[in-house]
Structure 1
Amino acid sequence: MFKLSDGVAAYTEFDARLFREDDRSKVAVALGNACLSKAQVVLSGDYNHRKRLVYVGRLVREKEVGLLIQAFLSTLEKGGDFQGLDIVGAGPEEKVLKELVSKSAFPDKVLFHGHLAPGRQLASIYEGALFATSPGYAGLSVVQAMAHGVPVIVSKNRKHSPEIEACEEDLTAVFVEDGTVECWTRELLRLGENSNHWLARRVKIAAFISERYTFESMVSNFLNLVSLVEEKKK
């Protein structure tokens, strides 16, 4: 189909670049993926006092939420000053994860909210978050977090969805080299001590998503593709 087309609407910039390298006569534009409009990209609340972590996603083994909980609890044992960890989502691992928390020395520091659809309640959780986290497979939730100005922490050596392209090292995200409790604990302690750097990036992170990962930007990119194809035909 690619050979017969005049242009390609790619999912990511990486894909678009591969198409252009394969056939320089073709027009290839990345549309990006979106789960919200520009009006839903927000930076509200007193974000200078955010000191919580948040995980949003399914509670399944491949997401490695247990690793996150263990690392978070370990930071508290080592004197870390995170105020809490919010778990948003549901799944087969929920019972095991709750038992892990209840048997710890800090059972009141991890809150399970269940599944929450995008809206005011979920937005309020993001408002209190210093970082969003995804120790296992990372998906569209990273874009959702950044839309609220929240940077994300992800494992470098895990498979992720194409939305991982939005995670730019030290700009919108932090990559943890090793997917172990020890490595995540060290990184969380380091990031907690360097919170001002990330708090100062809130507006830029939200603006980054507004420009590249909203419904409006997808439409704009598609129209740009049509325009480039028509221009090439002249």
Structure 2
Amino acid sequence: MVPCRGRVAPTDFIYVGRLVASKKVDILLHAFRLFVAVHPESQLHIVGTGDQYAMLQGVVRDHSIPGVTFHGHIAELNDLRAIYDTCVASVSPGYVGLSVTQSFSLGVPMIISRNEPHSPEIECVVDGVNASFFETDAPASLCGEMESWYGRAGQHDDRAAAIAADCKNRYSVERMVAGFVEAVNA
């Protein structure tokens, strides 16, 4: 995949994944409510479906949170890339799954909840380089990390290529086959 940068500094954030309780998207919505009060130009893109879809839309409505778009499921990579292209960072308010490698492959850093039962993909995270952590279940802490990445948005073009290259090096077919062969020969 090619990193999706090369234009004006991004202003938005994205969540891609299932809309279920364990993903804690409500924490992200409350953090974004704090963030957008200071940065009204920012948007939050929610990509995915799940049993909390209607409840999360209710949180947005009940708290009058501006700038939140629920896209539903997006299957086309180019459509997803167009959204990632506007984003400062992706966010994982619950446990990290495969979306971290997708975000990194597109050159977009991720903000991650610190104390979750993360999937094995967490091993590709380098704190301060391609990701940062916030205190679990703390919207104010998440908002602080959003502020931090937003303040460095102009540097993301330079960082995007490095994030994408690192992901490609770790998750190429050749690297995975080499790891498998090494395990079999051990």
Q: Give the TM-score of the pair, scaled to structure 2.
A: 0.90
Aligned pairs for 1:35-50 (under 5 A) are 41-50=1-10
Residue 104 (structure 1) aligned with residue 38 (structure 2): no
- What is the deviation of 1:82? 5.4
Question: Take 1:195 and 1:174, find their aligned partners in 2: how far apart are those partners?
Answer: 14
Residue 53 (structure 1) aligned with residue 53 (structure 2): no
- What is the deviation of 1:193? 1.7
Aligned residue identity for 1:148: L
Residue by residue, what CA displacement relative to the aligned partner does 1:137-171 show, whole Å, maximum 9, x if unpaired?
11011001100000000011111000000111011
What's the C-alpha RMSD, in Å, of the aligned pairs? 2.0
- What is the deviation of 1:48? 4.0
Q: 2:115 aligns with which of 157, 164, 179?
A: 157
**Where does residue 27 of structure 2 map in the other structure?**
67
Contact 2:48 2:74 in 1 (8 A): yes
**Where does residue 87 of structure 1 map in the other structure?**
46
Aligned pairs for 1:181-196 (under 5 A) are 181-196=139-154
Aligned pairs for 1:1-234 (under 5 A) are 41-77=1-37, 79-80=38-39, 83-107=42-66, 109-223=67-181, 225=182, 229=185
Question: Take 1:168 and 1:80, find their aligned partners in 2: how far apart are those partners?
Answer: 27
- What is the deviation of 1:51? 1.4
2:88 alignment partner, SS class: strand
- What is the deviation of 1:80? 2.7
Residue by residue, what CA displacement relative to the aligned partner does 1:27-72 show, whole Å, maximum 9, x if unpaired?
xxxxxxxxxxxxxx21234344211100000000110001001101
Q: Computing the radius of gyration over CA atoms, which structure comes out larger, 1 or 2? A: 1
- What is the deviation of 1:135? 0.9
Contact 1:55 1:133 in 2 (8 A): yes
Contact 1:47 1:128 in 2 (8 A): no
Aligned length: 186
Unaligned runs of 5+ in 1: 1-40
Residue by residue, what CA displacement relative to the aligned partner does 1:159-213 show, whole Å, maximum 9, x if unpaired?
1000000111011111113431121122222322222344421100000011111
Contact 2:4 2:84 in 1 (8 A): no
Contact 2:36 2:42 in 1 (8 A): no
Residue by residue, what CA displacement relative to the aligned partner does 1:90-118 show, whole Å, maximum 9, x if unpaired?
001000111111233343x0111111125
**Where does residue 36 of structure 1 map in the other structure?**
none
Q: Give the TM-score of the pair, scaled to structure 1.
A: 0.73
Contact 2:116 2:136 in 1 (8 A): no
